[in-house]
Chain A
Amino acid sequence: MKRLLTIIFLSLSISIYAQNTISGTVTDPSGNPIPGANVYLDGTYDGGSTDDKGNFSFTSEEDGVQTLLISFLSFETYTLQADISKMKTLKITLKEDVNSLGSVILNAGTFSAGDNSKASVLSPLDIVTTAGAAGDYIGALQTLPGTSNVAEDGRLFVRGGDASETNVFIDGQRVFQPFTATTNNIPTRGRFSSFLFKGTNFSTGGYSAEYGDALSSVLLLNTIDEPDQEKTELQFINVGIGGGNTQKWEKNSLSVNAFYVNLEPYQDIIDQRVQWLKPYESIAGETVYRHQFNNGLLKVYGGLNYANFDLIQEDINIPEGINFSLKNRNLYLNTSYKGTLGNDWSITTGASFANDDNDIKVINNNVDNETNSVHLKMKLKKRFSNRFKLNFGAEQFFNAFTEKVNSPDFNTFRSSYDNNSTAVFTEANVFFSKKLAMQIGVRGVRNTLLETTRVSPRASLAYKTSGHSQISFAYGDFYQTPQQDVIKFDQTLEPEKSSHFILNYLYQKNKRTFRAEGYYKTYDELVKFDTEQPEFNSIYNNNGSGYARGVDIFWRDNRSIKNLEYWLSYSFLDTERDFRNYPTKATPNFAAKHNLSLVTKYWVNSLKSQISATYNFASGRPYNDPNQAVFQNRKTRHFNSLDVSWAYLISQQKILYLSVSNILDVNNVFNYQYSNTPDINGNFSRRAIRPNADQFIILGFFWTISENKKDNQLNNL
C-alpha cells in the first residue's frame, strides 16, 4: 500500500510541473512586427508562432536556465539563454540574414553566370546558346560590356587592355594556355569544352586579391561538382566529330570526351582569303574525375590537345606571301580539393601543370619552343560569423621556357628563362548589415626572375539603395610580368602596373537587369622597345604608360515579350597608351570607341526550335597610316555583323543545329598593313586586313543517349 502510494506520488510529480509562461514580441530591425516566427525552447516541444503583431506566448513545464530560440526565413536565428522565469514580455529584434536573398552583393567589375546566384546576369545556358559564339564560351563573353570587338583574334580584350592582360582560372588554378594555338588574323577558341563548367565569373576589373598577374581581367571557370546523370553524347558537325561519356558511382564520377576538327572539307567548298596548304586540324581529349569525401570534394582534370596547320598569308612587302606552319601540343592537368576542416574553417587547395610545345615554321625559319608551367595554391577560409569571413592563402608559380630558332640568316639562336614567383594574399569580407558590405584585401608577389616584390591593395564596397538596386565601388592595384615575347630577351624589366577605380549601379527586378559601370584605369611601367617587333638586340625599358576610361551598360529583359530573351550591351571606351614600339601615346588598334551587342533568343514552341540572333557593332578602329604625319590617327570603317542560329529539337535528345555568322555578308576591315617603302610617288601602298572568310557556317547534329531521356545538348550549342 505504501509502495503504491509512492508510485502514485512519483507519477504525479512527473505530471504536475510548475508552469512557466514565456511571452514577448518579435520585430525586424526597423521595428516592424514579424508574424509567423518560430519561438521555442531548445530541446523541448514547448513553443509557438508569433501572431500578426509579432506577439508570442506559450507555457512550459521546464525550469531553470533554458535556451530560447527564434527562427524565421531570411533572418538569423536568435538565441537567448536565461532563467525561464525571466522570459516574460521579451522585446526581440531579429537580425537580417546577410546570406539570404535580397542582400547587397559585392559585384563591382564582375559578371557572373551561375546556377542560382542572385548576382548572375547570365545563366550557364546563355553562355553557350548565343548565336555567333559557335559553342565557344569566350564568344558569349564577348557580347558583354567592357569587352572590345577584335573578331580576328578571338580572345578577350577588356577595357583598353590587350588580350594578354586577361588570365583564365579553372577551379581556382591558373590555366597557362587557355586558347588554341593560332597565328595572326586566324581567330582562336577556348581549349575547353563548355559543358564541363557550371559557373563562370568574368571580372572586367577590380577583382579579388586571390588573383594576380593580370592587368585587366580574370575569367574564373568552375567545373561541375557532380554530373546529373550517366550519359553518352555525340556531336556531328560539318567541321568535325566528337563524343563524350559520363559515368557515376557511389562517390565517384568520371567524364571523358574527345573532339576532332578538320577544316579541310569545309575550306574546299567555301572560299578563303588565305591559302591553306594544310587546313587546320586538331584533336582534343579531356577527362574529369570527381571524388566526394565526407568533408570535401576532389576534382582531377586532364586535357590533351594537338593541332596543326600550314598556310600562306598575304603580305604587302612579300609578294609571294608568308608561309607559316604550326604544330602545337598542349597538356594541362588540374587537381583541386575543397573541403571543410570543422569549426567553420574550410580549405581550398590545388595544383595545375601545363606543358606546351610548339613547332613553328615562318618562311625559312624554324622555331621550336617548350613551356612547362606549374601553379600550386592553398587557401584557408575562416567564417567567424555570417557577417565576417577571412580568407588567406599562398601560391607558387614555376614557369620554364626554352626556345631554339634556326634561321638561314644567322645560325641557331637559343633563349630560355625560369620565371618563378611566390604570392601571398589575404582578404576579409564584412557585412555591416544586409545593406552594406565590404571586401578588403592585399596581395604580395615576389618574382625571382625579375627580382621584384610588389604589394597590391584591393577593396570593394557595396550599398543597397533600395529593394532592387545597389551601388558599389571597387579599387585595386594590379601587376603583371611582361610577356614571353619580351622577357625571353630582357630579364631586367619591372612588372607592368595598372590601377582600377570602378563605380557600379545595379538594378534587378522581375527578371529585368540594368547595370551601369563607370571606370577609370591607369597604366604604368608598360614595356617599350625600339624595334618593330621585340628582338634579341632590341633595347627595352619600362617607360610606357596609359589610361582607359569609359562606361559599360548592360540591359537584360526576360519578361516583356513571351518566349523572348534578350540582352543589350554597350561600351564606351576612351583609351590611349604609349607601349611597345609606339612613338607617342595613341589609341591602339584593338580599342574601338563604341561597342554594341544585342543578343536575342526566341523559343518557338510549335517548331520546337530556339532561334537566336546576335548583332555586333564596333565603331571604326584606329590604325596608323605612314602617309599621315600623325601616328595612329586614321580609323577603319565600322564593324557590323549579324549572326543567326537555329536549334531544332527533333526529339528530346536529338538536336539539329545551323548557324551562320555575318548573314548580311558585310565586308569588315580590321586594320591595314602598309608597305615598308614608298612607291615612286612617295606613297606607302596598303592592304586591308580582313577576315579569312566573311561568313562561317556550322551545321551540326547532336545526340544525347541516356537512360534518363530528359537531357540534351542544347546548353552546349
Chain B
Amino acid sequence: MKTLMQAAFAAGAFCLAASTALADPAVVYDAGGKFDKSFNEAAYNGIEKFKAETGTSYLEFEVQADAQREQAFRKMAQRGADPIIGIGFSQESAIKKVAAEFPNIRFAIIDSVVDLPNVQSIVFKEQEGSYLVGVLAALASKTGKVGFVGGMDIPLISRFQCGYAQGAKAANPNVEVIGNMTGTTPAAWNDPTRGAELAKGQFDRGVDVVFAAAGGTGTGVYQAAKDAGKLAIGVDSNQNHLQPGTMLTSMLKRVDVAVYESAKAAKEGNWKPGVTVLGLKEGGVDWALDEHNKSLITDDMKTKVEAAKADIVSGKVAVHDYMSDNSCPM
C-alpha cells in the first residue's frame, strides 16, 4: 500500500513538473468539431502548419457541450499552454472569464472581441467574401433564385447571408434570395441531415445555387446539391474538393492563417493584444478557384467577380455589415 502511495505521489509530481515546463500553444475548437471540413478544420490546418514548421507541439480540446468551455480554457491555462486560441464566437464568455484569471497567459479568440490586455481578438469581414460568392451565385443561376443555408441563427451568420444577398443583387437585380437557418443551438453546426432537407426544400422552390455557411451541416447541403444536380458554395475552408463538379466555389475565411499567425507571433515574441480585422484587402476572406471548379467558372464570371473584388478593396463598393445595425438592407 505504501509503495503504491509513493508511486502515485511520484506520478503526480511528474505530471506537475511536466505541466509547468510547457509553453506550447493550445487550440479549443467549437462545437462543430475538429474535422467539420469547414471552420474548425481551417483552424486545425493552421495549427498543424505551425507544428510542421516550428516543430512545436500543441494542445487541443474539442468542445462537446457548452458547460465544458470554461473548464477547457482553465485546464489549458493550468497546464501552462500559451497562447490559448479559442475558435468561434461561443468561446467569448469563457475566454473573458479565464483570461482575467490568468493575466500572464496570452489568449486569442476568432470571430469575437474580448477587450482584455492579454487577449488578441481576430474578426473577419465575412460580408465581403460572401458578397463575392453572391455575385458568382447570381451569375451561375439559371432560374434567378439562389439559396442560403445558415448554421445557428446568430448575427454572425446573418452577416454572411446579408453580404451574399448584396452580392447576388449587385450582379442581377432581379435575383431572389431564399434563406434558411438550421437551428438555434450549437447542434445546428453539425446536422447534415437537416442541412440536406433544407437544401432540398430550397431546390423545390426553384433555387439552383445554394451557399451553406453552416460548419459540418454544410456537407449535407453539398451532398443534396450533388444528388439533385444543383450547384453549392462552400464556406471557411476551400471545400471545392468535397463534391467536384457541383461545388461552384467556396467563400474562404482564412482562419488557418489567423491561427498560424497568432501562434507564430507568440513564439517569435511579437504577439500583440487588441482587435485585428481581416477583410478582402488584408487577404482574410476570398473566393476559391482551383482544378475542381474551374469548369464551372466562365471567363465572364471571373472578370465580373474580380471587378467586384477590386471595387471592394478600393472602397468603391461598401458592403453593408449586418452586425453594425442588426439589419440587412436587402
**Is this pair of chains taken from one and the same complex?**
no
Chain A residues in the interface with B (C-beta under 8 A): none
Chain B residues in the interface with A (C-beta under 8 A): none
